[in-house]
Amino acid sequence: MLNELQQQIKDLTEFDEIDLKVKHGDEIFPIIEKSTLFISYDYLLNDDSEYSFLNEEFYQKNSEFHNNRTDYQIYFEKVKTICSTKFNTVSKDTFNFKVVSLNKNLKEILKSVYDVSGLKAEQTPTFIEIILYTNKKSNRAPRVFGFIGNANVIYILFYDPFHKIFDATTPKNNNIL
């Protein structure tokens, strides 16, 4: 199956000149369970909002568990580990990585980087959350959000330093349309 899928990807990119970069409205190829993940920053939130990687919180040393390391350093350590591991073995317990459902807050931020309106089920990418850490004594619980596109590419979208995306006061909405 894996060789067949690799051949299909090769045929699409070489002969049909199709770009593997996920674009709004594309059908998403299935995740290749026994393949490693890759990172892309093509849809990175690029503004000065609280969810941008330009947020000064990203460069602060605030973790109770990772002494003298910034969220920036912790993020890249996690990404290095995730990208050197096959998808089917990446889990919340070992890598602080999980698949998430869309809610109102997440959709609002996604509108600025990736058009989520009008997506059909087969065009909906798998959205993920990378948990950097959760402090027990303070209100810090930084997360990085993205989605998995074709060929196991993780498109990193934004940084949430206080984990406001899934604030308990925001009702969940799993409907994309």
Has residue 23 been placed in a domain? Answer: yes
* Per-residue model confidence (pLDDT) at position 161: 92
User: What average pLDDT does the segment 143-169 reach?
Assistant: 86
Identify the residue with better confidence: 34 or 56: 56
Structure tokens at 146: 């993205």
Tell me which residue range forms the domain holding 16.
2-160
Environment class of 111 (CB within 10 Å of its CB; exposed 0-12, middle 13-18, buried 19+)? exposed
Q: What is the pTM of this model?
A: 0.78
> Above 80 in pLDDT, residue 71?
yes
Structural domain count, the chain = 1
> Above 90 in pLDDT, residue 18?
no
Structure tokens at 91: 């889990």
User: What average pLDDT does the segment 64-78 reach?
Assistant: 91
> Above 70 in pLDDT, residue 37?
yes
CA distance linking residue 84 with residue 81, whole number of Å: 5
- Radius of gyration of the chain from Cα atoms? 17
Has residue 171 been placed in a domain? Answer: no
Has residue 22 been placed in a domain? Answer: yes
Has residue 169 been placed in a domain? Answer: no
Nearest to 161 by CA among 8, 33, 59: 59
> Above 90 in pLDDT, residue 177?
no
SS3 content of the chain, % helix, strand, coil (to 5): 30, 20, 55
